[in-house]
Amino acid sequence: MAPNPMDLGGSTVLVTGASSGIGRETAVLLSSLNARVVLTGRNRERLEQTLSLLSGEGHRIEPFDLGRAEEIPKWFRSLAAAIGPFHGLVHSAGLYMTLPIRFVTHTGAEQLLRTNVLSTIMLMRGFSQKDCHAAESSAVFLSSIAGLNGCPSTSVYAASKAALIGVAKSLAVELAPQRIRVNCVAPGCVQTEMLDQIRGPLSNEQFEALERAHPLGFGTARDVANAVAFLLAGTGRWITGSTLLVDGGYSAQ
């Protein structure tokens, strides 16, 4: 039997936002591909729930608030010292905001950008430190089609997700000599808790129109997790600085 090109046996992967949604589903998939998964998020109880879903052994939870961005590099180094170098980083944690620009506050915008953008930069500072990453390693950021396609009332969120694409492109070039690949996955609307947030202020007609805007319908967390795993594994060996759209055809129109 031919070997599975997406097998992650022997790899250790840190997954942020692992307590729910895409982060949780990604962790479950990576464990089924034989990776050792380190789960992080703010809620220990929900991380324990994710841990119970994983296949294999050697997984662990490491609760941490990524809003404490300045502490991330030191935290990352402590993880690597205890666990060993990481082969992969999946940054799925983030905040969502739907708000017309006239209602955006400095405090709210700063919090979202700090969580979605600054945490990414500091995670990569940590990941790229000596002895914190394996000889061949890969980072995947969860961006969004909101960072590529205009949509009313999402300016701050869209800015944060567009920023991740720029960060990935720059770091892909900067970190290539260290053999660290950096890519993004940009999902469309996926059936997670975030879709419930999007659904809230919309009428039935508006929500149905949003679904029709995805020619293949709304996606699932597993659809996105599959793309993340593809980029992490050897199947993504020659891919860096790219953004993989996983949006059911939304951006094709």
Catalytic residue among 75, 76, 157, 250: 157
How many residues does the structure list for the chain?
A: 253
Mean of pLDDT values over 212-233: 94
Residue 153 has pLDDT above 90, yes or no: no
How much is the pTM? 0.94
Per-residue model confidence (pLDDT) at position 62 = 97
Give me the percent of the chain exceeding a pLDDT of 90. Answer: 77
Q: Work out the pLDDT band at 60, boundaries 50, 70, 90.
A: very high
Whether 96 is a known active-site residue: answer: no
* Phi/psi of residue 248, nearest 5 degrees: 60, 25
Mean of pLDDT values over 208-220: 85
What sign does the CA torsion over 105, 106, 111, 112 have?
positive
Strand-pairing partners, residue 133, are 86
What sign does the CA torsion over 198, 139, 251, 104 have?
positive
Pick from 50, 42, 48, 44: which is nearest to 20 by CA? 50
What are 29-58's pLDDT values in tens digits? 999 999 999 999 999 999 999 999 999 999
What are 161-193's pLDDT values in tens digits? 999 999 999 999 999 999 999 999 999 988 877
Residue 63 has pLDDT above 70, yes or no: yes
In the numeric block, which tokens belong to residue 20? 């729910």
Q: Which amino acid is at 154?
A: T
